[in-house]
Structure 1
């Protein structure tokens, strides 16, 4: 119900239509696509966010991802690789150099895969929640 007690007023409909859905936007960002249109690339290099979308011209320059993607990458890689390392060591008892090589490459590879995707997801989250100047709710 609106503040005036009247539902379905034009102002209330405008506010509802201006809402951005969170999870579709985050998924588009994780795929490294524009959170608005889902077509244009959000990144212009490995981690550099474009100022505007090349397809829909959405302004993306307001993002403040900072260290968030790196923290999330460390959190995810650590929580995946540490139990796997323990299981591999207790089950097969490989040579330390073999274990280090396999898990070192696994950690680096997974980190390089996740980092740009998590940066896109964080920028899309900020876009969907109107954070840091990504527009204002009507």
Structure 2
């Protein structure tokens, strides 16, 4: 009796996450991951890899807020220890940074998480374990 062992193609985790961080397809690294600011393409325009299975949800904003919060708190603490700072300086500099920095980070963080999910075959990225509640793409 011979058992047939199905081997899955290798999906390098680091490479997929890096490609996602660059907002490229985690499979080929050529196609754009996003069709709009944070709207992931249903499939890669270059290689056809399905990308609609991702479940990034609230992860990217949470990570962006954590990163930016730590950076801004460090800056505030450093300024307070080094010099006397007028509170208006914080208002005019750090508040705009608190808005702009997370918005600039969000696409790369979301791409990173989509690449992570793709490489680990999570949430429908494994063709043998699709969500039965979703319609069959074939």
Q: TM-score surpassing 0.5?
A: yes
TM-score, normalised with respect to structure 2: 0.84
1:133 alignment counterpart: 124
CA displacement 1:51-99 (0-9 Å, x = unmatched): 0011111000101100000111111111111111110122122211112
Q: Which of 70, 89, 96 is matched with 2:80 structurally?
A: 89
TM-score, with normalisation over the residues of structure 1? 0.84
Extract structure 1 runs of 4+ deviating beyond 3 A: none
**Structure 1 match to 2:52:** 61
| Gap runs ≥5 in structure 1 | 5-9
Task: After TM superposition, list the pairs within 5 Å mapping 1:16-55 onto structure 2.
Answer: 18-55=9-46
Aligned residues: 128
RMSD of equivalent CA atoms? 2.1
> What residue is the counterpart of 1:107 in the other structure?
98
Give CA-to-partner distance per residue, 1:18-53, whole Å, 9 cap, x none.
Answer: 121111100100111000011111011111111001
Answer 1 or 2: which has greater helix percent: 1
